[in-house]
Every structure is written in C-alpha cells, then in structure tokens.
C-alpha cells in the first residue's frame, strides 16, 4: 500500500522542507515502459534520478489520487505492447543475420540476446517510481471541482471525457493555492493534447490552465527533460 | 470524418429553469435529471446547470449530460457528456448519447412547441471546411505523395509547400489534429507520417504568419 497524504499535509511538507516538489500523472508512469519504442530511452535515466533524489531527501514526489488505479488498469496492455515491440527488434535482427549469412559476411550480434529482457527492468522502474511517490488522498471538494470542470468542458477536459485529468489538475491547483510561493512546484504530464495548446506551439500550456495558476509559482511541464531541468540538481542532470 | 456533435436548444417563451422542470418530466428511456449535481455545479462554478443522467441503456454506457445557457442569449446547449464507465467517449458513443437525449427528452417538448433544438456538427467535411483551391492542393499532395516518405521527395515537398502557402494566404483555420485525422482516416496515411506532416503544417503556418 503506497504512502498517502492529504493536500493540506502535502502543502505543509513542501512549505516546511522547501524542497523541489514534483507531481506526476499517469502518462508519466507509462512513459517509462514505452520509452524505448517511443525513442526516448533517456526517460529511464531521468526516472532513476527522480527516485534516487527522492530517497536521498532532495526531492518530494507526489502522484495524483487516481494514478494507482489508472496505472494498474493500463499495466498489462503497456507491458504487452513493450514486449511485442522488443520481439519485433529481435525478428528484424534475425532478417539481417540471415542476409549476412547468404552474403557470407560477419554478423557479430549474438542470437542468444533477447531485447524483451529489457522490459522487466523497465516494469520494475515503473513500479519503483509509483512506490517512491506519496499518493494524494482524494477529497470531496477536488472531486466536485473536477466534475464542474469536465461539465464545463474546460481544459484539461475535452468533449467526451477527461474527468480524471481534471481531478489531477484540481489536486495540483489545491496544493499550488495552499502554498503559492512554493518554487519549484511542478506538475509533469506528457499529455499535450489535453494540457497544451498545439495551435500555439508544441510546449504551450493551454490558457484555461495557465490562467488558473496565476498568482502561484507552480509550473506545468509537458516533457521529462523540462521537469528534470527544474527539479534536479545540475550534477544529477549531468549524470543522465 | 466524425467529430463530437453540438446540440443547442432554443427556448420558446420558457425560462431555463422551466426547461429543466419540463425536461425532467418528459425524460424517458433511462434518462433522468440529477438535481443534486445541478446544485453542486452551481455551488462550484456558478451559473445554471441542468444535469441529466443516462443509465441502464442496452447499448450506450452510463453518462452525465450537461445543459447550460449559452452566453449571451436564451439558448441552451450541451456543454459536455462524460461517462463514469469510460476515460473518454468515442465520437460514436458521444453522438449516439446526444441523439438518445434528443429523442427521449427533447422531442416531446418540441412537439409541445416549448422548444426547438438542433443537433449538428457530427461530421467534419474538409472539402467544405477549406476553400476549394486549398483543399485541392491538399488532396493533390495526398493523392500523389509517397505515403512512406511523407513530404521528403522533392516533388511531394513542392506540392506540400503549395498547400501550406495556399492555407496561409487564404487564412484558413485548420488545426493540426484535424489535418492528421483526415490524412489517416480519409486518405489512408499511417499515423506516424500523418503526425509528422501535422507538425510540419503547424510549424510552417507559424513561420509563414510570422514572415507575412
């Protein structure tokens, strides 16, 4: 059972320790498993630094209240997809191996190594990140605010859904409003479709979301490197 | 190409509150009004809200449908539909729920001449959305391009740039998501290539706007 805390206790913790604080969303956890096939292996390095920084008391890590449930729901599907992509690499390499044999040239990559063997450690890293996070206890006022947000179709809600994204944002907003001077306080989401405004650029936060954060120093980051650059020390960044 | 439909309701001499009451009375086929949610939304965000729930439908998932006044004017509209059973409703589900609400709640009110309503916008027709010459340039690019290489072949690149320039000159509002969906769903491009072209489109339009 992961550690859980209320919004007010989390705000007190951030204000008291003055440490960088990072809240993660569900996509972020899944990104670890799919980092190879999405051509972003660096994510695994950043995730390890987040966990290590948390363990060494340099960083506060939080997860929104629905993350555990959403991660469990997506787990098998993402793991299966990662295994399939890894098997495809082995199959493609085998095609090259066969071509090399027909050509009579050397093909140095051994047949015994399976790329699928990278997936269990990635799954373990995904689980470690979730364990390293303090999970926010859901509160009625944030659930109601998220419902209102979704009903009004305000970002991160869009037509047809987004209630869980709204809950995550309302929880982050509650923390930010409780400690407006906290800096850095970062929400990392890799869901630019709902949080960003692509018509204005690939990394522009949607105005409806940015407006709600006015008066606080809280920031939303739409990719891992962006968040890492804010919450990790320069030594940790160099080591990735 | 499918999209989420828009349902708007014209009130004929009745107030929004009266609409809420008569709609509640006429609701059938699994539809009901949730006054508790209305109050909750009023407390949280202000304004008038009429929340209707769909449950026990043999095909459609359970859902909350929200009706609120359009500002300004005496028109109400469905601002959103969400389902506790789905992270996001797909286009068909959303539009079928809109249609079910219209059939099971609104039609009888229209028959009583209390309201009129329109349900539209469930499809995007790019040929109607874009000026003829802009659409033709896009269609020409898509039809002739090597779908494995996107815009990289010099001839494909030329046709792609013609489309970008024509889009900019006519000032069309075409978001990159819609373009990517059209390439995939109508023209049969692979998702990765379509996303790449949509990014190029977004960058190209931004660049051209800045330069002009």
Residue pLDDT, tens place only, B22-33:
999 999 999 999
Q: What is the pLDDT of residue B47?
A: 80
Same domain, B28 and B63: yes
* A164/B87 touch (CB, cutoff 8 Å), yes or no: yes
- For residues A190-203, average pLDDT: 84
Boundary of a domain, candidates B85, B120, B155: B120
Is it the case that residue B121 has pLDDT exceeding 70?
yes
More confident residue, A9 or A161: A9
Same domain, B170 and B111: no
The verdict on residue B172 lying in a domain is: yes
The verdict on residue A168 lying in a domain is: yes
- pTM summary value: 0.86
- For residues B137-147, average pLDDT: 92
Average pLDDT across chain B, whole number: 92
The verdict on residue B158 lying in a domain is: yes
The verdict on residue A62 lying in a domain is: yes
**Residues recorded for chain B:** 212
Same domain, B28 and B106: yes
Same domain, B80 and B137: no
Q: What is the pLDDT of residue A178?
A: 97
- In total, how many domains does chain A have? 1
The verdict on residue B92 lying in a domain is: yes
The verdict on residue A93 lying in a domain is: no
Supply the range of the domain harboring residue B174: 126-211
Share of chain A above pLDDT 90, in %: 88
Residues 103-132 of B with CB under 8 A from A: none
Same domain, B104 and B23: yes
Supply the range of the domain harboring residue A181: 4-75+117-239
Same domain, B150 and B101: no
Same domain, B70 and B10: yes
Q: What is the pLDDT of residue B72?
A: 65
Average pLDDT across chain A, whole number: 94
Q: Does B192 touch chain A (CB under 8 A)?
A: no
Å from B168 to nearest chain A CA? 14
Q: Does A192 touch chain B (CB under 8 A)?
A: no
Number of Cβ pairs < 8 A linking chain A and chain B? 73
Which candidate in B87, B96, B209 is best for mutational testing of the A interface (most A CBs within 10 A)?
A: B87
More confident residue, B150 or A222: A222
The verdict on residue B1 lying in a domain is: no
Tell me the C-alpha distance between B51 and B49, whole Å. 6
Same domain, B143 and B99: no
Which candidate in B43, B82, B89, B167 is best for mutational testing of the A interface (most A CBs within 10 A)?
A: B82
The verdict on residue A151 lying in a domain is: yes
- In total, how many domains does chain B have? 2
Q: What is the pLDDT of residue B211?
A: 86
Confidence of residue B10 (pLDDT cuts 50, 70, 90): very high
> Token match 């046709």: residue?
B159
The verdict on residue B135 lying in a domain is: yes
Q: Does A145 touch chain B (CB under 8 A)?
A: yes
The verdict on residue A59 lying in a domain is: yes
Q: Which residues of A touch B197 (CB under 8 A)?
A: none
Residue A27: which CATH number? 3.40.50.1010
Q: What is the pLDDT of residue B83?
A: 95
Q: Does A173 touch chain B (CB under 8 A)?
A: no
- For residues A165-191, average pLDDT: 97
Q: Which residues of B touch A159 (CB under 8 A)?
A: 4, 80-81, 94
Confidence of residue B169 (pLDDT cuts 50, 70, 90): very high
Q: What is the pLDDT of residue B141?
A: 94
The verdict on residue B19 lying in a domain is: yes
Q: Which residues of B touch A151 (CB under 8 A)?
A: 41, 45, 49, 51, 64, 66, 68, 79-80, 82
- For residues A15-35, average pLDDT: 96
Confidence of residue A126 (pLDDT cuts 50, 70, 90): very high
Q: What is the pLDDT of residue A108?
A: 85
Boundary of a domain, candidates B89, B120, B151: B120
The verdict on residue B180 lying in a domain is: yes
The verdict on residue A103 lying in a domain is: no
Which of A145, A152, A162 is closest, CB to CB, to B88? A162
Same domain, B143 and B97: no
Which of B68, B80, B177 is closest, CB to CB, to A157? B80
Per-residue model confidence as pLDDT tens digits over A32-73: 999 998 899 999 999 999 999 999 999 999 999 999 999 999
SS3 for chain A is CCCEECHHHHHHHHHHHCCCEEEECHHHHHHHHHCCCCCCCHHHHHHHHHHHHHHCCCCEEEECCCHHHHHHHHHHHHHHHHHHHHHHHHHHHHHHHHHHHHHCCCCCCCCCCCHHHHHHHHHHHHHHHHHHCEEECCCHHHHHHHHHHHHCCCCCCECCECHHHHHHHHHHHHHHHHCCCCCCEEEECCCHHHHECHHHCCCCECHHHHHHCCCCCCEEECCHHHHHHHHCCHHHHHHC
Residue B79: which CATH number? 3.30.70
DSSP secondary-structure letter at A206? P
Per-residue model confidence as pLDDT tens digits over A162-177: 889 999 999 999 999 9
Q: What is the pLDDT of residue A112?
A: 77
Same domain, B81 and B24: yes
Which of A151, A158, A161 is closest, CB to CB, to B49? A151
Boundary of a domain, candidates B120, B147, B169: B120
Describe the crossing of helices B176-185 and B191-211 by its angle, rounded to 10 degrees. 140
Tell me the C-alpha distance between B179 and B163, whole Å. 12
Tell me the C-alpha distance between A38 and A85, whole Å. 10
Is it the case that residue A31 has pLDDT exceeding 70?
yes
Per-residue model confidence as pLDDT tens digits over B34-79: 999 999 888 877 788 999 999 999 999 999 999 999 876 679 999 9
Is it the case that residue A199 has pLDDT exceeding 80?
no
């Amino acid at each position: 059972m992961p550690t859980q805390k209320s919004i007010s206790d989390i705000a007190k913790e951030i204000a008291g320790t003055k440490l960088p604080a990072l809240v993660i969303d569900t996509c972020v956890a899944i990104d670890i498993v799919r980092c190879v096939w999405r051509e972003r292996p660096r994510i695994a390095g950043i995730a390890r630094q987040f966990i290590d920084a948390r363990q060494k008391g340099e960083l506060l890590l939080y997860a929104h209240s629905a993350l555990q449930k959403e991660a469990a729901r997506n787990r098998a599907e993402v793991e299966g997809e990662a295994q399939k992509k890894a098997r495809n690499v082995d199959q493609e390499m085998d095609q090259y191996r066969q071509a090399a044999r027909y050509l009579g040239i050397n093909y140095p990559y051994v047949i015994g190594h399976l790329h699928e063997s990278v997936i269990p450690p990635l799954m373990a890293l995904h689980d470690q990140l979730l364990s390293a996070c303090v999970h926010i206890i859901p509160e009625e006022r944030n659930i109601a605010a998220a419902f209102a947000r979704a009903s009004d179709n305000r970002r991160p809600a869009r037509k047809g859904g987004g209630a869980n994204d709204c809950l995550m944002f309302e929880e982050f907003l509650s923390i930010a409003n409780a400690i407006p001077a906290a800096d850095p306080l970062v929400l990392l989401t890799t869901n630019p479709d709902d949080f960003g405004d692509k018509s204005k650029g690939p990394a522009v936060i949607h105005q409806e979301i940015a407006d709600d954060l006015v008066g606080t120093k809280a920031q939303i980051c739409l990719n891992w490197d962006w968040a890492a650059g804010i919450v990790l020390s320069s030594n940790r960044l160099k080591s990735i | 190409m499918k999209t989420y439909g828009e349902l708007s309701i014209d009130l004929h001499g009745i107030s929004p509150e009266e609409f809420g009451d008569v709609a509640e009375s006429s609701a059938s086929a699994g539809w009901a009004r949730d006054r508790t949610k209305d109050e909750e939304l009023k407390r949280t965000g202000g304004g008038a809200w009429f929340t209707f729930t769909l449950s026990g439908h043999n095909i459609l998932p359970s859902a909350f449908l929200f009706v609120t006044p359009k500002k300004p004017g005496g028109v109400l509209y469905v601002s959103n539909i969400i389902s506790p059973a789905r992270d996001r409703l797909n286009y068909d589900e959303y539009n079928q729920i809109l249609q079910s609400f219209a059939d099971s709640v609104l039609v009888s009110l229209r028959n009583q001449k209390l309201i009129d309503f329109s349900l539209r916008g469930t499809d995007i027709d790019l040929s109607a959305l874009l000026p003829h010459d802009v659409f033709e340039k896009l269609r020409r690019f898509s039809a002739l391009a090597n779908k494995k290489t996107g815009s990289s072949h010099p001839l494909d690149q030329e046709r792609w740039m013609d489309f970008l320039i024509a889009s900019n000159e006519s000032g069309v509002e075409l978001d990159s998501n819609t373009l990517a969906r059209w390439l995939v769903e109508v023209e049969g491009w692979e998702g990765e290539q379509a996303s790449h072209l949509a990014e190029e489109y977004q960058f190209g339009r931004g660049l051209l706007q800045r330069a002009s």
